[in-house]
Structure formats: structure tokens, C-alpha cells
Amino acid sequence: MTTDYTKRNYYISLAILAVMFFIFGFVSWVNSILIPYFRIACELTHFQSYFVTFAFYIAYFVMAVPSGMLLERFGFKRGIMYGFMFMAFGAALFIPAALAREFYVFLVGLFSIGTGLAILQTAANPYVTIIGPIDSAARRISIMGICNKLAGIISPLVFAALILKSNDSETFALIESGTLDPATREMLLDELIRRVIWPYAILSVILLSSGIGIRYSVLPEIDTAKSNSSEEDGEHDRKSVFSYPYLVLGGLAIFFHVGSQVIAIDTIIGYAGSMGLDLVEAKAFPSITLACTLVGYVLGIFLIPKYISQTRALVVCTILGLLISFGVVLADFDVTILGHRANISIFLLNLLGLPNALIYAGIWPLSIRGLGRHTKTGSSLLIMGLCGNAILPQIYGYIADVSGLRAGYWILIPCFLYLVFFAVKGHKIEHWRK
């Protein structure tokens, strides 16, 4: 821990960051319910429904660099407040979107929420990485990940409890049967979509209050140029972030990792539907995946770095993720687990959450080490990699519409092949070869 922090400030800072990561998870993982819900209520194809994730996560790519500039100008605490304000505005846009049942207005709201999260994550991730020793950064990120995924387990269930009713299975079947007269169909669709108004109105108030509270909290500012410097940075002072190959390759690793992670979570309800499970029953599957991720984070806290280095853990997890991905697309028999009767491939998709937990925690510290004065810009570059959440689900959705939902999961294989490369070789590349 750096000399700029007392032990008390250190733990208070971690607690505030933990709250932030809980909010990140609560807002982000509810998309797994929004995708199938909007597909029915707004009459969308699978490809169109995945614009939920596209609009939400493309903001990370578009707004990552402006987020870094905002933090440079206003500092971490004011920047965090502005991030929460963007999120609150986006949540409030769900109200007119639901009243008009206009999908594109929902997408604008989701983009605004994503913009706020881009600002917050640009601030929070380097904060967690360099607030203590770099060799235990994966452990701190694992703690934050527990908060994030715990919220992810809760949010789909809470949101489903607020917007779904016990007789909705029959309602969904009626809407998709094509037997209703136009007036009755429109009435049912309007009633469905307007259920999101109150949850998102309350969420907007909570987000705004959180931003103001953190702005005036005891969370200290940090000097990333001093806290994350290295001898090499001081001696050779590289001119830009693109002079660090391991950072650029790490940004690509983030792209493939988060894309594969969101595919495993946000598509699983639709995949369960192809096995005859309706939305009311299938709503549990995203939470099962996130529970597996939670187990992975707990293992990371106890094992890293005492029993296994964060680098070795990254190698193990990427290889395990590759093997499980092959199982998702190739294994084919029915089982009953946790009271659900379905193809084994969907439970392997749940299990993918276990290795995914420590991949992000391993990539970040290996990619951002020793950047010195380039830390905030480097963080922005890594945050841009989160647009994998926007692009890869769209590719999955296209393949799913053309070749079937299960065939879409072949996209996981090249993702994990690259992650294995980064874990074994990519993070070690210090200089570009001429």
C-alpha cells in the first residue's frame, strides 16, 4: 500500500469501490432479462434484441477516451459523480420509452447508462489496481468482482419479480401465437412494456443519490503517474500508450473476454427457450452462471497470490474456459440439475462463469503495469475493450438467426484461443519488433 494512504483510508476506499462495483453489476446484468423481455414486448428478432447489449456496451468504446479526459480535468471524485448522473438520466429515459413503446428510445437510455459506466469504470479499475501492491491486484479485483457478480445474481431475479407475473407464460404464448386481434395484441404489449417504468424511475433516483454521496465522501484522489510508474518508464519515457505492446494486446484480451462472458449470460435465457423452458423458469439461468463466477472470485481471494500467482491463474482459467466452450458446442445429452431438465450444454454454459471470474482479474494488472503518466489513458484503452460486450453478442445473434442458437456458441472458441495466447505469451511482450 502506498504511503499516501493510511490504513483507515485504504479500507474506506475499498468499501466505497465495492459499493460502486455492486451498482455496476446491478445495472449491467439486468440486460439478461431485458433482452428476451424486449424481444416479446417490442416484437423483435433475436438479432434486433441484442441491440440491448450493443447500445449499452458500445458506449464503452465511444466514450472511453472522453471519460479519461473528463477524469484528467475534474479528478476522480467529480468524474464519478458525473458518471452516476449520466446513468440516472439513461434510467429516466425508460419512462418515455415505455409510454411510447419505442425501442430506439430504450437504446438511447441504455447508451446513456453505458456512458456513465464507462466513466465510472475508467476511474474505478485503475484505482483498484494501484491502490495496493500490484502482485495482489487480482485479489482486490476479485473482491470487487464478488460485489459485481453478487449484484448480478440478484438483479435479474429482482427485476423479474417486479415485472413478471405468474400467468405471463400464457400471455407470452398468446402474443406469439398470432391468434389475437390487433387491438388486444397492442393492449397486451403496452401493458407489458410499461411494467419497466417504476423500477427504472426508482433506479434513476438511487443512481443520482449515489453519485452525490460519493462526490462528498472521504474517497481520496490518487496520483496515478506516481503510483503506477516503473524504472523503465522513468528512464525511457515512452511517448504514447501504443508503445506498450502488452497494453494493446491486453485491450484485445478484454474485448474477447467480456464478449464471451456476456454471451454466456445474456443469451442463456433465449437458449433455454429453445429447449422448451419459458421465461418464467429460464430467468434463473443467468443467476446460476453468475453464482459460478462468484465461486471463482472467492477462490481467487484465497489462492492469489499465496498459493498461485495471478499470471498462472490466468493461464489455467483461459485453458479451462476453452475446454468448457468446446463442451458447450459438442456435448449433447439431457440432464436434470437444480430442478431443471435441459441439455447438458446449457449447464456447461453456466459453468463457464467459473473460469471467467479470474480472467478479467488477471488481464487488468498485467496490462496496466508500469504505465506511469499514461495510466489514465491506458485505462481508457482497456475500457474500450469492453465494447466486446456490444459486438460479439451481435455476431452471436446473427449466427443464431441463421444457423440456430447453439451454433452461435462457436464464437466462443476463437475468443478463448486468443485469451490463452495472451495468458501464455502476449502479456510478456514489452516492445514491438521492428
Q: pLDDT for 317-366, tens place per residue? A: 999 999 999 999 999 898 888 888 888 999 999 999 899 988 987 898 88
Quote the percentage of the chain above a pLDDT of 70: 91
Mean of per-residue pLDDT scores for the chain: 84
What is the mean pLDDT of the segment spanning 237-263?
Answer: 87
Average pLDDT value for residue range 235-240: 60
Asked if pLDDT for residue 45 goes beyond 90, the answer is: no
**What integer is the mean pLDDT of 75-87?**
87
Res 168: pLDDT = 75
The model's pTM is: 0.73
In a domain, 377, yes or no: yes
Most confident of the following: 77-81, 187-191, 414-418: 414-418
**Residue that wins the pLDDT comparison between 111 and 69:** 111
What pLDDT does residue 415 have? 96
- Cis ω before 126 (30° cut-off from 0): no
Which has more confidence, 208 or 53?
Answer: 208
Q: Where residue 225 falls among pLDDT bands split at 50, 70, 90?
A: low
pLDDT-wise least confident of 165-179, 215-229, 238-252, 420-434: 215-229
In the structure, what pLDDT confidence band is assigned to residue 237 with cuts at 50, 70 and 90?
A: low
pLDDT value for 85: 94
Q: Are 367 and 247 in contact (CB under 8 A)?
A: yes
- pLDDT reading at 231 higher than 70: no
Does 434 fall in a domain? Answer: no
Give the tens place of pLDDT for each residue, 136-150. Answer: 666 777 788 788 878
pLDDT of residue 226: 52
Asked if pLDDT for residue 55 goes beyond 60, the answer is yes
Bridge partners of residue 342, in order along the sequence: 335
Say which CATH number the domain at 101 has.
1.20.1250.20
pLDDT at position 304: 78
Domain range enclosing 339: 7-218+240-428
Please indicate whether residue 283 or residue 193 has the higher confidence score (pLDDT).
193
Check residue 1 and give its pLDDT.
43
The answer as to whether 233 is a domain residue is no
Q: How confident is the model at residue 408 (pLDDT cuts 50, 70, 90)?
A: very high
277 belongs to a structural domain:
yes
Domain count within the chain: 1
In a domain, 318, yes or no: yes
